């Protein structure tokens, strides 16, 4: 090498080292993706105790309970492996309820912990069934209502459970089309949300358990119509509806009314929600709207002062998510884009907020990256909302980028702390998270614009967003990866097949590869929403949709996959069967392509166990570093201790 080129190489090396030196220290994956130190606190109905989630000595998430004002913290669950993530208080003063499935199969059972005697009981002990909690009311403290598909795996009937004896009896039988049930404050099932054969929605009500059902409202397949809650009188319904408008409006309607009801809150820009409903009085108190950040519209004047004061407690967006029965104390969560979720106890009488804890204290005081709400104009003139995160410590110019695609696709990304956005940014990547067409939250026109557009305009939206970032100068167009889970995994496969030369590489987590086999293998209890899939994705039983479904399926374009691909899959996934990943891996191998495929034997639709999640993310980090050039925390050994990863490497990926 000549002295001139040696000096140039040295200068480039110094420049590169300097660029990386400006970045904050690597945040360990264990901090970003490990169990929270504490999370999801909940006050007991009598306000005397508080529960929360925290890992035990074996790093398995459990429920812990403490009497307020005492040092008597006690672990009350003893899950052996997967960890408890969903729990709530019963109303009898001694039972804590939680849900658990088996290695990710999503056949949840409802368990109860007797906090006096310590006994744990499975209230829904029917193998192969899925249960959920409908209601627990103070007026009937010794009972709860649950749904269970024991009679017919396709349908959920409501059952009444006696907390003291464990006895479970059928309360309300599903006529064949109900997907959601609601009860009044006396624990009577009085409202139902059913799906019509054409994909529409029907709200039904009855005056009491012995009265016949009658239709209160109907909506077509293009409209949103969802029950929020039953009114305090048990004779009215609070619901969100887009009938006659683009965005959903919060509306109240009496069971006896013949009119359309009273509109309580709406925005012409975005759908209404989340909602704050007092779980005990049943009063609607506030409605949130989220075009980019969250804003609250207070409905109940009695809480206006609380909301005004709470907003001053901390930076970020807040939500009141729990309270005691007397409504004296609230638990409030603040989310920020640059810090963990922080929890406060709000004492209403004193107008005093007390900081409790954050989910991950190790993230505090770190240099994290700002998540900015953005709006991108699509090629066909629509305004698409999303979020851009640029890495702290680097000049926002010609960066490598990860297009991180949300699942659903009938869901949305939100502002706040996102482990993946911070992880990618910390490693040196720009991150885009877009609410492409078919996403919820931005009105029915944007939602319905995604109908039968898998691999088509939905994919164009992701390209348009990337092109926007390139034109702003933020991103190097040759260094863009695409990654996501579920639909985001599908979008990854579509990105590498529909536009095989556009993305530099892709990471697919539990993504479907063939829409026909996906729709044939959906869980039986999704039968009531089959018409919705037909409308939004295509009907596999209709010859008119056959070509559309095939064209939208990446499996049949596997020969076009020329860029590096990493696939992660849970062996017990009930939504996207592991055959979806296996068949495209097989096709890539047959076409002499390359792919790395990782299966976790004790996971379902995504990776719940930290050992597996961190293991796959370590592989993803090394993969992206090789593809895009970002930083990477070394992986110790060939797998994370405790992980059940089984790896298959095909072709040049070796």
pLDDT in tens, 474-505: 999 999 999 999 999 999 999 999 999 999 99
Q: Are residues 227 and 201 in the same domain?
A: yes
Answer whether residue 15 shows pLDDT above 60.
Answer: no
What percent of the chain shows pLDDT beyond 90?
A: 94
Q: Are residues 314 and 459 in the same domain?
A: no
Residue 9's pLDDT is 41
Q: Domain range holding 598? A: 367-653
Active site residue 513: no
Q: Are residues 420 and 328 in the same domain?
A: no
Q: Decide: 320 and 42 in contact? Cβ < 8 Å.
A: no
Cα 276 from Cα 570, distance rounded (Å): 35
Question: Residue 52: which residues within 8 A CB-CB, separation 6 or more?
Answer: 38, 39, 40, 41, 42, 63, 64
Q: Are residues 379 and 290 in the same domain?
A: no
Tens digit of each residue's pLDDT (9 = 90 or more) over 28-79: 999 999 999 999 999 999 999 999 999 999 999 999 999 999 999 999 999 9
Cα 65 from Cα 74, distance rounded (Å): 5
Q: Which CATH number fits the domain that encloses residue 460? A: 3.40.50.1820
Residue 188's pLDDT is 97
Q: Are residues 328 and 379 in the same domain?
A: no
Edge-to-edge strand list for the sheet holding 339-347? 317-323, 329-336, 339-347, 352-358
The domain boundary residue, chosen from 341, 363, 385: 363
The domain boundary residue, chosen from 323, 347, 363: 363
Average pLDDT over residues 630-634: 96
Answer whether residue 18 shows pLDDT above 90.
Answer: no
Q: Which CATH number fits the domain that encloses residue 272? A: 2.130.10.120
Answer whether residue 377 shows pLDDT above 60.
Answer: yes
Residue 2's pLDDT band (cuts 50, 70, 90): very low
Q: Please indicate, yes or no, if residue 64 is contained in any of the structural domains.
A: no
Residue 349's pLDDT is 97
Cα 415 from Cα 370, distance rounded (Å): 10
Q: Please indicate, yes or no, if residue 583 is contained in any of the structural domains.
A: yes
> Which strand (E) or helix (H) includes residue 495?
helix 487-497
Q: Please indicate, yes or no, if residue 115 is contained in any of the structural domains.
A: no
Q: Are residues 160 and 299 in the same domain?
A: yes
Residue 294's pLDDT is 97
Strands (E), 324-474: 329-336, 339-347, 352-358, 371-377, 383-389, 399-405, 430-434
Answer whether residue 124 shows pLDDT above 60.
Answer: yes
Q: Please indicate, yes or no, if residue 38 is contained in any of the structural domains.
A: no
Q: Please indicate, yes or no, if residue 177 is contained in any of the structural domains.
A: yes
Q: Are residues 347 and 418 in the same domain?
A: no
The domain boundary residue, chosen from 342, 363, 384: 363
Q: Are residues 327 and 416 in the same domain?
A: no
Residue 652's pLDDT band (cuts 50, 70, 90): confident
Active-site residue (options: 157, 306, 460, 573): 573
Active site residue 382: no
Report how far Cα 235 is from the mean position of its chain's Cα atoms.
32
Residue 654's pLDDT band (cuts 50, 70, 90): low
Residue 216's pLDDT band (cuts 50, 70, 90): very high
Active-site residue (options: 92, 605, 615, 643): 605
Report how far Cα 452 is from the mean position of its chain's Cα atoms.
23
Residue 225's pLDDT is 97
Q: Please indicate, yes or no, if residue 117 is contained in any of the structural domains.
A: no
Q: Please indicate, yes or no, if residue 51 is contained in any of the structural domains.
A: no
Tens digit of each residue's pLDDT (9 = 90 or more) over 229-243: 999 999 999 999 999
Average pLDDT over residues 75-90: 96
Residue 409: cis peptide before it, omega within 30 degrees of 0: yes
Cα 123 from Cα 109, distance rounded (Å): 7
Residue 176's pLDDT is 97
Question: Residue 410: which residues within 8 A CB-CB, separation 6 or more?
Answer: 438, 439, 440, 447, 536
The pair of three-digit structure tokens given for residue 216, joined into one six-digit string: 């209160």
Q: Are residues 535 and 423 in the same domain?
A: yes
Answer whether residue 100 shows pLDDT above 70.
Answer: yes
Lowest mean pLDDT among 240-254, 257-271, 372-386, 598-612: 257-271
Domain count along the chain: 2
Residue 257's pLDDT is 81
The residue assigned the tokens 């097989």 is: 586
Q: Are residues 230 and 312 in the same domain?
A: yes
Residue 350: cis peptide before it, omega within 30 degrees of 0: no
Q: Are residues 276 and 181 in the same domain?
A: yes
Q: Please indicate, yes or no, if residue 590 is contained in any of the structural domains.
A: yes
The pair of three-digit structure tokens given for residue 410, joined into one six-digit string: 């009938």
Active-site residue (options: 221, 358, 419, 486): 486
Answer whether residue 17 shows pLDDT above 70.
Answer: no
Question: Residue 637: which residues within 8 A CB-CB, separation 6 or more?
Answer: none
Answer whether residue 27 shows pLDDT above 90.
Answer: yes
Active site residue 486: yes
Cα 387 from Cα 55, distance rounded (Å): 31
Q: Are residues 152 and 292 in the same domain?
A: yes
Residue 637's pLDDT is 87
Residue 340's pLDDT is 97
């Amino acid at each position: 090498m000549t002295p001139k080129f040696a000096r140039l190489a040295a200068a480039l090396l110094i420049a590169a080292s300097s660029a990386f030196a400006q970045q904050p220290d690597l945040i360990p994956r264990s901090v970003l993706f490990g169990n929270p130190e504490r999370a999801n606190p909940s006050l007991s109905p009598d306000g005397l105790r508080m529960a929360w989630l925290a890992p035990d000595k074996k790093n398995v998430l459990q429920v812990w309970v403490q009497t307020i004002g005492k040092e008597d913290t006690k672990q009350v669950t003893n899950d052996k492996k997967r960890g408890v993530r969903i729990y709530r208080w019963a109303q009898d003063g001694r039972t804590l309820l939680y849900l658990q499935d088996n290695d990710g199969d999503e056949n949840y059972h409802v368990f109860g912990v007797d906090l006096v005697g310590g006994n744990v009981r499975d209230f829904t002990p029917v193998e192969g069934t899925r249960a959920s909690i409908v209601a627990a009311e103070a007026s009937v403290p010794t009972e709860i209502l649950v749904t269970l598909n024991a009679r017919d795996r396709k349908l959920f009937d409501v059952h009444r459970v006696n907390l003291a004896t464990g006895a479970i009896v059928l309360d309300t039988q599903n006529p064949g089309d109900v997907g959601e049930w609601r009860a009044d404050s006396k624990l009577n099932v009085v409202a139902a949300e059913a799906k019509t054969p054409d994909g529409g929605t029907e709200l039904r009500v009855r005056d009491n358990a012995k009265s016949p059902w009658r239709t209160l409202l109907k909506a077509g397949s293009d409209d949103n119509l969802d029950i929020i809650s039953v009114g305090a009188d048990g004779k009215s319904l609070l619901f969100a509806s887009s009938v006659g408008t683009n965005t959903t409006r919060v509306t109240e309607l009496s069971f006896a009314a013949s009119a359309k009801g009273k509109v309580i809150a709406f925005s012409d820009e975005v759908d209404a929600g989340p909602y704050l409903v007092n779980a005990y009085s049943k009063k609607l108190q506030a409605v949130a709207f989220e075009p980019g950040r969250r804003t609250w519209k207070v409905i109940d004047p009695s809480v206006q002062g609380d909301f005004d004061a709470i907003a001053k407690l901390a930076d970020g967006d807040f939500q009141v998510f729990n309270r005691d029965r007397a409504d004296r104390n609230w638990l409030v969560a603040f989310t920020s884009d640059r810090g963990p979720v922080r929890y406060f106890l709000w004492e209403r009488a004193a107008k005093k907020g007390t900081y409790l804890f954050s989910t991950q204290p190790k993230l505090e005081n770190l240099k994290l990256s700002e998540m900015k709400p953005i709006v991108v104009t699509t090629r066909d003139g629509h305004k698409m909302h999303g979020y851009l995160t640029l890495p702290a410590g680097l000049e926002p110019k010609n960066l490598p980028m990860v297009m991180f695609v949300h699942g659903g696709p009938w869901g949305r990304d939100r502002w706040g702390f996102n482990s993946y956005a911070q992880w990618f940014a910390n490693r040196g990547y720009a991150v885009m998270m877009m609410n492409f067409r078919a996403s919820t939250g931005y009105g029915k026109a944007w939602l319905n614009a995604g109908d039968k557009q898998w691999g088509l305009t939905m994919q164009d939206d992701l390209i348009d967003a990337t092109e926007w970032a390139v034109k702003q100068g933020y991103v190097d167009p040759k260094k863009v990866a695409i990654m996501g889970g579920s639909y985001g995994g599908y979008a990854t496969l579509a990105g590498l097949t529909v536009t095989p030369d556009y993305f530099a590489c892709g990471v697919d987590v539990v993504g479907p590869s063939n829409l026909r086999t996906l729709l044939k293998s959906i869980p039986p209890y999704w039968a009531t929403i089959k018409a919705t899939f037909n409308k939004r994705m295509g009907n596999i039983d209709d010859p008119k949709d056959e070509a559309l479904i095939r064209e939208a399926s990446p499996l049949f374009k596997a020969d076009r996959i020329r860029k590096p691909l990493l696939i992660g899959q849970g062996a017990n996934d009930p939504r996207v069967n592991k055959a979806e990943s296996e068949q495209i891996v097989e096709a890539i191998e047959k076409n002499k392509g390359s792919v790395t495929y990782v299966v976790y034997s004790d996971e379902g639709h995504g990776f719940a166990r930290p050992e597996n999640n961190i293991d796959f993310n370590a592989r993803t980090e090394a993969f992206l570093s090789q593809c895009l050039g970002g930083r990477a925390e070394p992986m110790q050994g060939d797998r994370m201790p405790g992980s059940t990863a089984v790896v298959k490497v095909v072709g040049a990926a070796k």
